[in-house]
A and B are shown apart, each in its own frame.
Chain A
């Protein structure tokens, strides 16, 4: 049993489990201590010094974010001196930060700006000294402007600890301190996998998604272009946060919205997910029953995970599913299948993906296979945050939009397709169809509770036709090491493989926690977003990818069969080892 400590905050007695920080404990007495560097999703960095509180009996002030409550502590969270010091620290930070807020991508959505407003800072007490550090726009996915960085350390933490990528680090010291890949190279030349977790956690405009809204607006007004769009599962569960609605599924309003923005056809990436399942489950069936290639089969729909594997774990290439990610599949089919069917010149089609992800911006030019239609299969990627801005630019009253349907023939999805947006979702969808492919029978109980949830590594066993199928699900790239190491050990010692099927998503929580999603994500929020997807699945009449009539029709009319010649050409890709550093 955890010990309980007793202390006073502002004279009010509190009892909290040992180890509770002052910041957390203060909530019990209705105090929200102002913070800047502390993100609710991350351990304290203790770099800003805003959250100081006074401890009676000492002349010291302590940081609430990282100081555990001790027995008998008498904590004061605010008095005129504390407020004055907080204000001074904010002003000091402002003196080292550009004040071009009006032209910043984070304007009106910036944690530093909010704090400045809260403290009513209207003039400059200290002269501004800005560092002269070049911007880094090299990744085509995330833009880094180190001058706007307040060195809170969140991005470095997520990049190194949560994602185990180590692309970002602190260089130099004192006023010269800056965030950069080691060796002062550009991000594109570093191990960066473009997951965008840095951008999703950045309190200011120092790291943001590359803004492609301009490209999309231009395409929409170009009469030569036939603009079509698709949206990923996770977007529908999070776009509401732009308007203060948490955990609401906005699928049908989003269809209406996208049409009103000017898109001629609205597709759903969940349909692409259904196709991915057809291909991937077939691949799994082949590897399991015919031993064509080694097991475990590892999922490949997350481009950051693919990039990570190509850089750090190239010995796993043979285990990777060759199937493209769902939005790439919709992309290539929109310029082939759809174009042929509706007699549209594919060279005129401008395909936009709305994604929870920054990495997808990079994926669309990842290799020549992303041009399988003869054109670039996806022309632009917008992440959820960018879509939120476009809604506001267009002045659309999103919440009061009517509900509409997606466009055939790339729009109707099964319940299995939509849960792709959550960790464990791909696994669950794959198991539903793999069961059918292997046994020829449908599952009675479609829900696999054991693959759901936010545990960083989930290992479980599923019985299919008397066979025990061992699966593992990892999310957050640092979690994957454990799984891969187990596989590696088995390979090395020639022992039984630990898993048959492995799902990996780069971002914690899967796509619902993606790098392009609305800010201030926490596990609580990830669960709520995932719930919105699982309830969508539950409400669906069809919950198996292979039962989706449009999937059947696609294979009958166009692709032939999963892993067939045409499928291989359009829907599959290859992987090659990439250098960690290009310089």
Chain B
């Protein structure tokens, strides 16, 4: 009988071989200690930690060791596994202040084993629902929970379900939107890979509530492990009768298919997603009609995000009231964020709604890597905005972030320090949206492109002060006249950086200066004659021969030839090259 599970993950991402080698050695150790029957060793896809080398998590004790070496294996087994002693030098203290709801099983259970899911209260919610709940009562319970869509817009989930239930037409569909695409966001991926059955259960409960008989997973093809895990989980469910006709001897019948996203960000937008499932070009369509009335193939459809669905079994298992105890008045429950950027502990965090942003950044994630000040935090991905340092006290929920000019979004959170240039950040996100615009709608397609051209000019030192007004003008037209969320929100990074960091834009335009030193074209490398020892290292290393002179007269950089590669500064041993 398995008593403990040991989860292994190479959080430094040095390559698959590192984990495999370590896993084999660990298994050998377990074998030598004759513990094979009691200890299960699992290579986890994601533990929510990053940059901690090899991480070993021992469950159910919830002991996490980081930077583990091969030489530590023996003492981990001897002390911790056999004697329950904790090795202080290896311990990575579990991040405090987190509440795991959506991620409750991630890393805790074997995602490929349905029995493990069932052992962790899996399908308890479903069997409750099928035995004791009317569909209306399920929707009521969801209403009590206050769950809002975790995909970004935060629409109350119960209202979606209720509208779909009220639609008379049959058949109805449930779609799980697993087309996660924000740069740096991987919350949904972790759940798909780490707890596939909870999403399936969530979909089943949704189907029961609205009266749907068919579901689709729309998963981006770039998540092969997620696709594989979901596919295997669906097969398993069918095998044991948890999908198909008369589930658990009830009158409820339901099955789910998988559709793969073909690499378009806009296909996360619900109308485009449905077009894609129907085999059409993935472009958004006007709403109304809303999918709950006329969705997939014109039939009533509920589209919920992965994280939303993962919350559903929890709510139906432990009660909507219990769920609603977490969070703020308008935003209930928890939210998973993928914290990345210049942050010490990057990774997934699941926090109660209403937590101060500061606590996520400093207490949970340990502040910036460099130790420099946080300049701003970007939330909501390419559709979001920045929250400047002075506003880090903001309590994170849907409405507060919106008031700050950003959005909750799907949960991307990028931390920037003083080495980051805000114009550059805006340019990065705009570039993403321009690349991902479906091209259907003129304000988004051309507006985004024109904004990007202006930002390019500004970061190249060719900006004009009138450009700021033009940026705002195009941004407003995109926000008001675009058809879908992608176009309406694409200018947000520009609007919010302009709002909080207009000075930086002006510096680029008027002073031709980038204070973060990010905008290469605005940099000037010069040789400080007083410090220069005339060693010629810079002269010989300059790849474009922009440095002229000789050992007697000293050296000079010809600015018209310099490509600002920084090689001269890098090779100079006397700090005689300045970068401004």
Interchain CB contact (< 8 A) of A173 among B286, B437, B443: B437
Q: Is the CB–CB distance between A49 and B443 below 8 Å?
A: yes
Residues in A neighbouring B439, C-beta threshold 8 A: 151, 170, 172-177
Nearest-CB distance from B182 to chain A (Å)? 17
- Which of the 9-residue segments B71-79, B314-322, B472-480 touches chain A? B472-480
For window 109-124 of B, CB contacts with A under 8 Å fall at none
Residues in A neighbouring B212, C-beta threshold 8 A: none
B28 an interface residue at 8 Å Cβ cutoff? no
Q: Is the CB–CB distance between A85 and B483 below 8 Å?
A: no
Nearest-CB distance from A296 to chain B (Å)? 33
Nearest-CB distance from A136 to chain B (Å)? 19
A46-B487 Cα distance, complex, nearest whole Å: 13
Interchain CB contact (< 8 A) of A47 among B281, B441, B470, B473: B441
Given A49-B442, A68-B288, A170-B439, CB of A125 within 8 Å of CB of B480:
no
- Which of the 9-residue segments A59-67, A193-201, A203-211, A538-546 touches chain B? A59-67
Q: Is the CB–CB distance between B445 and A66 below 8 Å?
A: no
A150-B477 Cα distance, complex, nearest whole Å: 17
Residues in B neighbouring A105, C-beta threshold 8 A: none
A417 an interface residue at 8 Å Cβ cutoff? no
B351 an interface residue at 8 Å Cβ cutoff? no
A316-B483 Cα distance, complex, nearest whole Å: 43
Q: Is the CB–CB distance between B477 and A85 below 8 Å?
A: yes
A44-B449 Cα distance, complex, nearest whole Å: 25
Interchain CB contact (< 8 A) of B264 among A44, A49, A173: A173
For window 91-141 of A, CB contacts with B under 8 Å fall at 92-93, 95-96, 125-127, 129
Nearest-CB distance from A213 to chain B (Å)? 32
Interchain CB contact (< 8 A) of B437 among A95, A125, A153, A174: A174
B440 an interface residue at 8 Å Cβ cutoff? yes
For window 413-472 of B, CB contacts with A under 8 Å fall at 434-443, 445-450, 453, 470
Q: Is the CB–CB distance between A67 and B264 below 8 Å?
A: no
B86 an interface residue at 8 Å Cβ cutoff? no
A92-B450 Cα distance, complex, nearest whole Å: 8
Nearest-CB distance from B382 to chain A (Å)? 13
Q: Is the CB–CB distance between A93 and B286 below 8 Å?
A: no
Q: Is the CB–CB distance between A170 and B281 below 8 Å?
A: yes
Q: Is the CB–CB distance between A88 and B477 below 8 Å?
A: yes
Nearest-CB distance from A581 to chain B (Å)? 19
Residues in A neighbouring B308, C-beta threshold 8 A: none
Residues in A neighbouring B283, C-beta threshold 8 A: 170
B285 an interface residue at 8 Å Cβ cutoff? yes
Cross-chain pair count, CB within 8 angstroms: 109
Q: How large is the interface on B (under 10, 10 to 19, 20 to 34, 35 or more residues)?
A: 20 to 34
Residues in B neighbouring A67, C-beta threshold 8 A: 286, 288
Q: Is the CB–CB distance between B481 and A49 below 8 Å?
A: yes
Interchain CB contact (< 8 A) of B443 among A89, A125, A153, A177: A89
B482 an interface residue at 8 Å Cβ cutoff? yes
Residues in B neighbouring A174, C-beta threshold 8 A: 434-439, 445, 448-449
Residues in A neighbouring B481, C-beta threshold 8 A: 49-50, 52, 61, 63, 85-86, 89
Given A46-B286, A85-B481, A129-B449, CB of A93 within 8 Å of CB of B442:
yes
Q: Is the CB–CB distance between A92 and B442 below 8 Å?
A: yes
For window 25-81 of A, CB contacts with B under 8 Å fall at 44, 46-50, 52, 60-61, 63, 66-68, 81
Nearest-CB distance from A509 to chain B (Å)? 27
Given A47-B441, A151-B440, A173-B264, CB of A92 within 8 Å of CB of B483:
no
Residues in B neighbouring A50, C-beta threshold 8 A: 481
What per-residue 1/0 map shows which CB atoms of B521-557 lie under 8 Å from chain A? 0000000000000000000000000000000000000
Q: Which residue of A lies closest to B449 (CB)?
A: A175
A169 an interface residue at 8 Å Cβ cutoff? yes
Given A169-B281, A170-B439, A173-B438, CB of A151 within 8 Å of CB of B483:
no
A44-B446 Cα distance, complex, nearest whole Å: 20
Given A63-B286, A175-B446, CB of A88 within 8 Å of CB of B474:
yes
Given A44-B286, A68-B288, A173-B264, CB of A96 within 8 Å of CB of B480:
no
Nearest-CB distance from B268 to chain A (Å)? 14
Q: Is the CB–CB distance between A47 and B446 below 8 Å?
A: no
Q: How large is the interface on A (under 10, 10 to 19, 20 to 34, 35 or more residues)?
A: 35 or more
Nearest-CB distance from B249 to chain A (Å)? 42
Q: Is the CB–CB distance between A153 and B440 below 8 Å?
A: yes
A460-B486 Cα distance, complex, nearest whole Å: 50
What per-residue 1/0 map shows which CB atoms of A131-165 lie under 8 Å from chain B? 00000000000000000001101000000000000
A126-B447 Cα distance, complex, nearest whole Å: 10
Nearest-CB distance from A198 to chain B (Å)? 17
Q: Is the CB–CB distance between B480 and A85 below 8 Å?
A: yes
Interchain CB contact (< 8 A) of A151 among B264, B281, B445, B450: B445
Q: Is the CB–CB distance between A46 and B442 below 8 Å?
A: no
Q: Is the CB–CB distance between B470 and A92 below 8 Å?
A: no
Nearest-CB distance from A52 to chain B (Å)? 5
Nearest-CB distance from A91 to chain B (Å)? 9
Nearest-CB distance from B462 to chain A (Å)? 12
For window 72-113 of B, CB contacts with A under 8 Å fall at none
Given A49-B482, A85-B476, CB of A92 within 8 Å of CB of B443:
yes
Q: Which residue of B lies closest to A151 (CB)?
A: B439
Nearest-CB distance from A284 to chain B (Å)? 40
A275-B335 Cα distance, complex, nearest whole Å: 77
Residues in B neighbouring A127, C-beta threshold 8 A: 450, 453
Interchain CB contact (< 8 A) of A49 among B285, B474, B483: B483
Q: Is the CB–CB distance between B446 and A95 below 8 Å?
A: yes
Nearest-CB distance from B570 to chain A (Å)? 37
Q: Is the CB–CB distance between A48 and B477 below 8 Å?
A: no
Given A88-B473, A175-B446, A175-B449, CB of A46 within 8 Å of CB of B438:
no
Which among A47, A60, A174, A176 has the greatest number of chain B C-beta atoms within 10 A?
Answer: A174
Q: Which residue of B lies closest to A88 (CB)?
A: B477
Q: Is the CB–CB distance between A93 and B446 below 8 Å?
A: yes
Residues in A neighbouring B264, C-beta threshold 8 A: 173
Residues in B neighbouring A66, C-beta threshold 8 A: 286
A95-B266 Cα distance, complex, nearest whole Å: 24
Nearest-CB distance from A276 to chain B (Å)? 40
Nearest-CB distance from A46 to chain B (Å)? 4
Interchain CB contact (< 8 A) of A46 among B285, B435, B437: B285
Q: Which residue of B lies closest to A93 (CB)?
A: B442
Q: Is the CB–CB distance between B476 and A48 below 8 Å?
A: no
Nearest-CB distance from A38 to chain B (Å)? 11
A84-B473 Cα distance, complex, nearest whole Å: 9
Q: Is the CB–CB distance between B443 and A175 below 8 Å?
A: no
Residues in B neighbouring A48, C-beta threshold 8 A: 441-442
What per-residue 1/0 map shows which CB atoms of B361-400 lie under 8 Å from chain A? 0000000000000000000000000000000000000000
Given A49-B483, A63-B483, CB of A126 within 8 Å of CB of B435:
no
A126-B439 Cα distance, complex, nearest whole Å: 18
Q: Which residue of B lies closest to A68 (CB)?
A: B288
Residues in A neighbouring B474, C-beta threshold 8 A: 88, 92, 126
Nearest-CB distance from A131 to chain B (Å)? 11
Nearest-CB distance from B325 to chain A (Å)? 32
Q: Which residue of A lies closest to B266 (CB)?
A: A173
Which among B436, B446, B474, B483 has the greatest number of chain A C-beta atoms within 10 A?
Answer: B446
Residues in B neighbouring A60, C-beta threshold 8 A: 480
Which among B286, B438, B453 has the greatest number of chain A C-beta atoms within 10 A?
Answer: B286
Residues in B neighbouring A52, C-beta threshold 8 A: 480-481
A68-B266 Cα distance, complex, nearest whole Å: 24
For window 271-330 of B, CB contacts with A under 8 Å fall at 281, 283, 285-286, 288
Residues in A neighbouring B436, C-beta threshold 8 A: 173-174
Q: Other than the known A88-B474, A92-B474, what 4 A-B pairs have Cβ atoms closer than 8 Å?
A: A49-B442, A92-B446, A170-B440, A176-B439
A-B contact pairs, 12 of them (CB 8 A): A47-B483, A48-B441, A49-B442, A66-B286, A89-B447, A92-B477, A127-B450, A127-B453, A170-B440, A172-B439, A173-B437, A177-B445
Q: Which residues of A contact B (CB under 8 A)?
A: 44, 46-50, 52, 60-61, 63, 66-68, 81, 84-86, 88-89, 92-93, 95-96, 125-127, 129, 150-151, 153, 169-170, 172-177
